[in-house]
Amino acid sequence: MSYQPIRFYQTGTFTVGNRLLPTEERSVQANVRRTNSLNSGHRACQGCGEALGARYAIDAAMEATDRQLVAANATGCLEVFSTPYPETSWQIPWIHSLFGNAAAVATGIAAAMRVKGREHVRVVAQGGDGGTTDIGFGCLSGMFERNDDVLYICYDNEAYMNTGVQRSSATPPAARTNTTFPVGDSAGNRFGQGKNLPVIAMAHEIPYVATATVSELRDLEAKVRRAMEIRGARYIHILVPCPLGWGHGSAETIRMARLAHETGLFPVFEAEHGEVKSVSKIRRQLPVEEYLRPQQRFAHLFKPPGRPDIVARLQQLADRNIRRYGLLDGTEGTR
Amino acid sequence: MLKQIEGSAAVAEAVALCRPEVICAYPISPQTHIVEGLGRLVDGGQLKPCEFINVESEFAAMSVAIGASAAGARAYTATASQGLLFMAEAVFNAAGLGLPIVMTVANRAIGAPINIWNDHTDALSQRDCGWIQLFAEDNQEALDLHIQAFRLAEELSLPVMVCMDGFILTHAYERVDMPTQEQVDAYLPPYEPRQVLDPADPVSIGAMVGPEAFTEVRFLAHAKQQQALQLIPAWASEFKRIFGRASGGLTHGYRLDDAETVVVALGSVLGTIKDTVDEMREQGVKIGVLGITCFRPWPTAAVREALAGAKRVLVLEKSLAVGLGGIVSNHVSTSYHGASDDVYTVIAGLGGRAITRGSLHRIFAAAAEGSLEPVTFLDLDYSLVDRVLAREREHRRSGPIAEGILRDLGVVAAKIG
């Protein structure tokens, strides 16, 4: 495991006080040298998980590459809120081409750097879940298959938030979106087979796949650093709660991400060449209801008379993850 | 050096002489031989440094080219037909971002019905995408236009599409004069990008632009294409100075002096048209030819000047604006001083239908006599059309059109040409 969380339970929070740590263990964000790659002044919503995740991920990648980084961005919230003409929040070379081609554009940048003998310049591609799991999937899979020297980061907020909250293939079952609206007997998004992109990335047997959430930002930084130590195709999937689309308070973003992990609904792990190498353990599994209740997108499950049947099915999904990945302390996964 | 060589191989060699740094390849007939040839040159070490990337779709091909070009590399790809449509979103994007990518389009029909043979529907469907579009008349010109295309693209920071007729040119073995590396290097300086993704000087490329400036951005795209109208003839002249032969430019006139009827066309069919015109000239018919080399930007002034003495204009085009008639002919009409009634549209060669001298004689004679319909489909088999229409009148479930026509036609191979 690339990062061992240090918890200061005596403070009553799960946060790490950087002041209490030796300098070398402090986060990139705590360093005065941090690059502010995604600078302040952008137009993300209050409490935006994606802005937080991108800031940590790209600053960590900048640190890891000695600031020799280029980013390709898919269309989506991150692109729109960061570059309304004539302003840009990006302090790094950055290109936005289309919704579905960020991985391919990044391949082209990496090829250009290689042909020019500038392989020390590294490339990150980034997009939301729509740009990654749906419209950009073909280009992403091609980049994986060729093992191009690109780190692709998916900021997963589980729906098309930029266009006004429509379902994507990353939207969880039972979630309310504007295209899976719970009316009549319908209980939001239907239960499908899921499109588990971290696992699909692992099936490409690329050198590195990791998941992370914005509740463990030190873990995220460590995974980005680890990814930048490796050449070839790498994939990091970050769960980034969206106050607008999920319907939780702006101050609840990090708590939602933590609950997603601690219920088992979003397993946090690292894999190399298709094999899980480490998982972020859960000290005590929380019932999914604790995660679902604070979110308006699941409110229809709890409005009297309620849908305990649906909640039970979601609990089964969480339990399956717990079992598969061995998320509880002292257990082994099967994956 | 003179060589007897396949058109695709000639283009591959010419592109290699232009020292591309990133080449993206995705197979689609009839462009495959070009990227195959380039792949072998890269793998064999004759073309280096160069990254040859086998991508998973045409959309990815253009997207990889976009990334490579934005990072300062000279980028090239080739496609045709459905491939061009599949990459269309990225085609517009490359132009909008001002990236000087060069792409060969081995012109081929668009389905359905699926058809691998030549016409110009693919390239002309992208006529408003912001790329410069050049059409080669023969393999020598196809080769030469690629060298000019890189120069033009990089000077203007605009992508350039070199269109050559699928199979008719790409698969034809012809004699070509292959330039030397020294000649190409003298003509084409190293690529100096106007914008580049460089950690030493970070820029944001592809920011969102709203109503406050979008019109200005689009105007600049238009203005650059207008600028190309000046540069293309100038660089064709310089090309002639260095390479010793005329190639490229905006238009090619042929026997236009005193011509009362002028035939306008694009691409390889110009050869057959010129042969036909030669024969008609011998019979005393005052007829000439105007070949359009540069379709985008549309050379309004050059076309107007070339057609100044014409009493009638016959536009023979391998494309169809369904529901309107001609695409090229509508362009020509805007550049013709005479009445638009005197511009005739002849749709020919769709999906590889052979355009024979016999048919051209017939249609040119009809135009000269004034007996031509405004829009004519050359060698259209009305009996086939009538049978389909009859079926549709008789049965609600008349079945798939293409299948029905093929059944009516019987053995197909014997009837091509």
Q: Which of residues 136-155 of A touch B (CB under 8 A)?
A: 138-139, 141-142, 145-146
Map out the domains of chain A with their CATH numbers. 9-325 (3.40.50.970)
Convert A63-127 into a string of H (helix), E (strand) and C (coil).
Answer: HHCCCCEEEEECCCHHHHHHCECCCCCECCCEEECCCCCHHHHHHHHHHHHHHCCCCCCEEEEEE
Contacts A90 to B, Cβ<8 Å: 202, 204
pLDDT greater than 90 at residue A33: no
> Would you say A31 and A24 are in contact if contact means Cβ atoms under 8 Å apart?
no
Which chain A residue's Cα is nearest to B58?
A139
Q: Which residue has the higher pLDDT, A287 or A86?
A: A287
Residues of A in contact with B212 (CB under 8 A): 85
Lowest mean pLDDT among A79-88, A162-171, B27-36, B349-358: A79-88
Q: Say yes or no: A36 contacts chain B, CB-CB below 8 A.
A: no
User: Using CB atoms and an 8 Å cut-off, which of residues 195-224 of chain B contact chain A?
Assistant: 197-199, 201-210, 212-213
B132-135 and B294-296 beta bridge pairing: antiparallel
Length reported for chain A: 335
Q: Are B199 and A68 in contact (CB under 8 A)?
A: yes
In chain B, ranges of CATH 3.40.50.970 domains = 2-243
Which residues are CB-neighbours of B380 under 8 A, at least 6 positions away? none
Q: For B89, name the nearest residue in chain A, comparing CA atoms only.
A: A98
Of the pLDDT bands very low, low, confident and very high (cuts 50, 70, 90), residue A10 is very low
Give the pLDDT of residue B342: 94
List, in sequence order, every residue forming a beta bridge with A324; answer none if it has no partner. Answer: none
Q: How far apart are CA B91 and CA B122, in angstroms?
A: 12
A17: number of Cβ within 10 Å:
12
Closest CA to B378 of B416, B357, B355, B348: B348
> Dihedral of CA B368/B373/B374/B377: which sign?
negative
Q: Say whether A139 and B57 touch across the interface (CB within 8 A).
A: yes
Reference B222, options B129, B91, B150, B154; nearest CA is: B129
Using CB atoms, pick whichever of A70, A110, A116 lies closest to residue B199.
A70
What is d(CA B356, CA B379) in angstroms, rounded to the nearest whole number? 10
Judge: A112–B71 Cβ closer than 8 Å, yes or no. Answer: yes
Query: Which residues sit opposite B106 in a β-bridge?
Result: B164
A39 touches chain B (CB under 8 A): no
Q: What's the rounded Cα separation, in Å, for the pair B413 and B417?
A: 9
- Sort out which chain B residues have CB atoms less than 8 A from A79's CB and list them: 208
Q: Is the pLDDT of residue B95 over 90?
A: yes
In three-state secondary structure terms, B164 is strand
- The answer to whether residue B53 neighbours chain A at the CB level (below 8 Å) is yes
* Beta-carbon contacts of residue A222 (< 8 Å; ≥ 6 apart): A2, A3
CATH architecture of B2-243: 3-Layer(aba) Sandwich (3.40)
Q: Decide if A115 touches B, using CB distance below 8 A.
A: yes
User: What was the ipTM of the complex prediction?
Assistant: 0.95
What is the fold of B251-377?
Answer: Rossmann fold (3.40.50)
Residue reference for tokens 């091909």: B61
Read off the tokens for B241.
């100075």
Mutate to test the interface with A, among B208, B212, B214, B220 (most CBs of A within 10 A): B208
Pairing of strands B294-296, A208-213: unpaired
Of A72, A80, A107, the CB nearest to B53: A107
Q: What is the DSSP letter of B229?
A: H
Alpha-carbon span B124 to B328, nearest angstrom: 9
Q: Is the pLDDT of residue B181 over 90?
A: yes
Q: Is the pLDDT of residue B90 over 50?
A: yes
**Mean pLDDT within B281-304:** 97
Where exactly does CATH 3.40.50.920 map onto chain B? 251-377
Identify all chain B residues contacting A91, using CB atoms and an 8 Å cutoff: 202
Burial of B410 (0-12, 13-18, 19+ CB in 10 A): exposed
Tell me the mean pLDDT in the region B170-184: 98
Backbone angles phi, psi at A248, to 5 degrees: -125, 165
Q: Is the dihedral of CA B363, B367, B371, B372 positive or negative?
A: positive
Looking at the complex, report in whole angstroms how far the Cα of residue B350 sits from the nearest Cα belonging to chain A.
32
Tokens representing B228 are 């190309």
Q: What is the predicted pLDDT for the residue at A14?
A: 54
**3-state class (DSSP) for residue A232:** coil
Q: Give the integer Cα–Cα distance in Å for B154 and B158.
A: 7
Query: Is A38 strand, coil or helix?
Result: strand
| Ranges assigned E (strand) in A111-268 | 122-128, 151-156, 208-213, 234-239
pLDDT in tens, A275-294: 999 999 999 999 999 999 99
pLDDT of residue B414: 56
Range from A225-229, A327-331, B198-202 carrying the lowest mean pLDDT: A327-331
pLDDT for the residue numbered A21: 72
| Secondary structure (3-state) at B262 | strand
